[in-house]
Amino acid sequence: MSSVVHLANNYIYIASFTLFLIGFSILLLNSNLIKKIIGMNIMDTSVFLLFISQGYIKGRKAPILEGGGSVNPAEYVNPVPSALILTGIVVAVSVTAFLLALTVKLYNLYGTVDMDEIIEIRRSVDGNS
């Protein structure tokens, strides 16, 4: 019983793990390259959620300082994870853009974005030559 209460208090971990597994299942089950990229983005989002949730402290304000002069650090949440995860978001955007560019190139070459069909086409070309 106590473990169930503990899980309910740490709902952010459950949400993060669920998002990760949703993205992973999309990555495994679909052969459409666009859907694979979407799944990878969902996995990225789950990792960002897990990382940023470590900076949260219950009942405190966002780290936008008020009232100048003396600042009491016990009033604000932890700003360090939010500052660090910006790098991760930028890298995720860059990787997504490059994967989409490669997918466009594959579509121009084979006329499809389905990985199974691309493998079939390549196999038939190899068999004929």
Per CB under 8 A, residues contacting other proteins are: 3, 6-7, 9-14, 17-18, 20-21, 24-25, 28-29, 53-58, 60, 62-65, 68, 71, 73-74, 76, 78-83, 86-87, 89-91, 93-95, 97-98, 100-102, 104-105, 107-108
Pick from 9, 3, 15: nearest CA to 52 = 15
Measured CA distances, 101 to 26, 89, 125 (Å):
20, 19, 24
CA distance 104 to 126: 23
- Phi/psi for 32 (5° steps) reads -80, 125
Nearer to other proteins, 62 or 125 (CB): 62
CA distance 111 to 104: 10
Shortest Å, Cβ 8 to other proteins: 10
Nearer to other proteins, 65 or 124 (CB): 65
Nearer to other proteins, 112 or 128 (CB): 112
